[in-house]
Amino acid sequence: MPLTARGEAIFERLPGAAPRESTGAIGCQIVRHEELCIGCGRCASACPSGATLKGDMFDPMQLYSAPPDSRRGAIGTALRAIARHQPSGSIAVPERVSAFRTIVFDASRCIGCGACARACPTGAAEALPVPAEEIGAGVSG
């Protein structure tokens, strides 16, 4: 996937920067906590490199692991009450269902800018600092 306009802008500010797969990281490492995700998609809109996308599948386990007072948690509680067994894997999501989509994160495209973590309202996307010695040699800004 080509870079988005925002991605281009970020690269302009960071001379020598390149996606993670070629240089390692340019900033931070992203850790995702899917149990906190509410599927709003802000991370995907914020991501400049196409590393974070709203997927077409949904893992029902996310309903079980969500906080019980959240919307997903409430559905999880209801589903658990009638379930005959554990969810048997991800399900396809119809077009018009927006929030029940598992976020697809491709670490190899991540540029480590942390935009997703800043955009995430629930802490599901977390940006951990990467020690300076691990940062790719080409980065100077």
Partner 1 sequence: MRCGVFLCECGGNISGVLDLDSLADSARTHDGVVSISRNQFMCGTEGRRMIEQAVEERGLDRIVIGACSRRFQGPTFERIARELRLGENAVAFGNLREGCSFIHRDEPAKAQLKAEKIVSAAVARARFQSDLPRGRTFLHRSALVVGGGIAGITAAEELSGAGIDVHLVEREQSLGGYMARLSKTFPTEDCAMCSLAPQLTGAALDPRIHIRTLTDVTEISGPPGEFRVKLRQRPRFVSEACVGCDDCTAACPVSVSSEFELGVTKRKAISRPFANAVPSLYAIDKRGPAPCKSACPAGTSAQGYVALVAEGRFDEAYRVASGPNPFPSVCGRICTHPCERACARGEVDEPVAIAALKRFVADHVGPETVIEKVPVIHSEKVAIIGAGPAGLTCARDLAKLGYRTTVFEALPVAGGMLKTGIPDYRLPKDVLEREIDQITALGVELKLGQRAGKDFTVDGLLENGYGAAFLAVGLQKSSEVEITGAELEGTERAVEFLRRLNLGKSVSVGDRVVVIGGGDVALDAARSAIRLQQTSGREPNVTLVYRRTRAEMPALGEEDEQAIEEGLKVEFLVAPLEIVGKKGRVSALKLQRCKLGEPDSSGRRRPVPIEGDVTEIEADTVVLAIGQDIVCDFLEGCEDVSVEKGQIRIDRDTLMTGKSGVFAGGDAAATGGWTAIEAIAAGTRAAHSIHNYLRGEKLFEVWPAKAAEARPSAEELARREVGQRIPAVLLDRSDRCASWAEVVGGYSEEEAIAEASRCLACAVCSECEACVRACPAGAIELDQQEETEELAVGAIIVATGHKEFDARRKIPLGFGRFSNVVTQSQLARLLAPSGPTAGELERPSDGAVPKKIFMLQCVGSRDCTSSGNEHCSAICCLFATLHASLIKQHYPDVDITIGYTDLRAPGKSHEEYYRLVQERGVRYVRGRVGEVMEEADKSLRVRFEDTVTKRKNEELFDLVVLSAGLEASAGTTEIAHVAGLQQGSAGFIKEYHPKLKPVDTQRAGIFVAGTAQGPKNIPDTIAQAKAAAARVVSMLSAGFVLTPAQVASSNLEQCIGCGICESVCPQGAVKLSGGDNPHSVVDANSCRGCGICAAECPSGAMTLGGYSDEEILAEVMV
Partner 2 sequence: MTSTAAENTRAPETEDGAERKIVAFFCRECAYAAADATGNARVSLPTTIRSVLVPCTGRVSPLHLLKALADGADGVYVAGCLEGQCHYREGNLHALDRIEFSRALLESVGVEPERVQMFTMSAADSPKFVAAARKMHETISALPPLKRK
Closest CA relative to residue 77, chosen from 89, 65, 93, 88: 65
- Give residues 70-129 in contact with partner 2 (rule: CB under 8 A): 71, 74-75, 77-89, 91-97, 100
Residue 69 sits in the site that holds partner 2 (CB under 8 A): no
How many whole angstroms separate alpha carbon 74 and alpha carbon 63? 8
* 38 is a contact residue toward partner 1 (CB under 8 A): yes
Partner that binds at residue 121, options partner 2, partner 1, none, CB closer than 5 to 8 Å by kind: partner 1
Under a CB-based contact definition with an 8 Å cutoff, are residues 127 and 47 in contact?
A: no
| In the complex, least distance from residue 96 CB atom to partner 1, rounded to whole angstroms | 8
Q: Name the residues that contact partner 2, by CB under 8 A.
A: 58, 60, 63, 71, 74-75, 77-89, 91-97, 100
